[in-house]
Amino acid sequence: MSLQMYLINETMLKNGKKLVIRRPVDEDACALINFLNTVGGESDNLLFGKDEFYLTVEKEAEYIEKVNSDVNAIMLLGLIGDKIASVAELRGFGKKRNGHNSELAISVKKDYWNKGVGSAMMEELLQFARDHQTIRNVSLGVKADNYNAIKLYEKFGFRKIGVHKDYFFINNQYYDEILMDLYL
Closer residue to ligand COA in complex, CB, 102/107: 107
Instruction: Name the segment binding ligand COA (CB under 6 A); options: 20-28, 43-51, 57-65, 91-99.
Output: 43-51
The Cβ of residue 45 has, within 10 Å, a number of other Cβ atoms equal to 17
Does residue 126 bind ligand COA (CB under 6 A)? no
Instruction: Name the segment binding ligand COA (CB under 6 A); options: 29-37, 90-98, 105-113, 128-136.
Output: 105-113
Residue 95 in 3-state DSSP?
coil
Q: For residues 123 and 78, what is the distance between their CA atoms, to the nearest angstrom?
A: 12
- Candidate list 90, 101, 146, 178; residue touching ligand COA; CB under 6 A: 146
Q: For residues 85 and 38, what is the distance between their CA atoms, to the nearest angstrom?
A: 11
Instruction: Name the segment binding ligand COA (CB under 6 A); options: 22-30, 48-56, 60-68, 117-125.
Output: 117-125
- Candidate list 73, 79, 107, 124; residue touching ligand COA; CB under 6 A: 107
Does residue 37 bind ligand COA (CB under 6 A)? no
What is the b/e burial string over 51-83, where b = at least 16 CB atoms within 10 angstroms of the residue's CB? eebeeeeeebbeebeebeeeebbbbbbbbbeee
